Amino acid sequence: MEYQEAKEKFISTWGSLGSMWGINKAMAQIQSLLFISTKPLSMEDIMEELKISRGNTSMNLRQLMDWGIVTKELVPGERREFFTTVKDVEELARHIAKERSRREIKPVIKTLKEVSSIKDDGTAKTQELIKQTKALHDLANTADSLLNKIAAQEQNWITKSLLKLIK
């Protein structure tokens, strides 16, 4: 496989996997293109490479910056904006884990806490609702705590965390 084919396959695959970590295909493709780029890319570079519109590129770059995994970079002598991404795989995973917790898990935990805290009127259906939603709240809270502890590890966090779990 030649470079161009491998690059296209990587970007396409990473784009398809994007939905697994909570982002759309174009957003994942932009991030993957920046990830393998040897230099910061302009919006025009990204649009041309991925064959996507200016609006789509702009919107997704903004979202990637909100996630904290893409930043603007100044290029001396250039008026255009250039973009780069986190290149360290473990740092990238930490950013994604933190953001997914904030956007997805914490709102669910809040809702489950509210629902499981309703007044117990003594009926079987109310008691079952409280019991099950409290169990889900506790599980989600534990999973979020574990995810946050793993994401807080500074270096080799995946390896360190897995070793701690095994020991």
pLDDT along the chain (167 residues), means of 10: 90 83 86 94 96 95 92 91 90 81 89 92 93 94 83 62 59
Look at residue 159 in the predicted model and tell me its pLDDT: 56
* Residue 151 to residue 132: CA distance in whole angstroms: 28
Look at residue 72 in the predicted model and tell me its pLDDT: 95
Tokens of 23: 């982002």
The packing angle between helices 157-166 and 124-152, to 10°, is 120
DSSP letter at 52?
Answer: -
The tens digit of pLDDT for each residue in 14-33 reads 888 887 776 788 999 999 99
Closest C-alpha to 98, from 130, 67, 120: 67
Look at residue 99 in the predicted model and tell me its pLDDT: 83
Please, where are the H alpha helices in the chain?
Answer: 3-17, 25-36, 43-50, 54-67, 89-100, 106-116, 124-152, 157-166
